[in-house]
Amino acid sequence: KNVRRFLDFTHISKMLKTRCCKIAYSKPDLVNYIKSYLENPALDKDGRTRLKEAQIYRTDGKSGEAIAQFLIQHLYV
């Protein structure tokens, strides 16, 4: 099956609306995009920032601790 069907998934289409990355429709495009991102890591940075702000609840580096606390509270009732 063609992986292009995933572009219609709600979470993928929302992600792509942020313009956080390029979509390669061919092998040469993929190679060129990889080279572009390696040469310029800031490419599409604004889009990645929009994605992060829309999708990530906290960026304090303590997500593992928060998950552990949640599990402890709910598993040992």
Query: What number of residues does the chain have?
Result: 77
pTM listed for this prediction: 0.66
Segment 47-69 mean pLDDT: 88
**What are the backbone dihedrals phi and psi of residue 26, each rounded to the nearest 5 degrees, phi first?**
-150, 160
b/e burial code for range 13-25 (CB count within 10 A of at least 16 → b):
eebeebebebeee
Q: What is the mean pLDDT of the chain?
A: 91
pLDDT higher at 62 or 35? 35
Distance, C-alpha 77 to centroid of its chain: 34
- What pLDDT is stored for residue 61 in this prediction? 86
Q: What percent of the chain stands above pLDDT 70?
A: 97
Q: Is 34 helix (H, G, I), strand (E, B) or coil?
A: helix
Q: Average of pLDDT values for 52-71?
A: 87
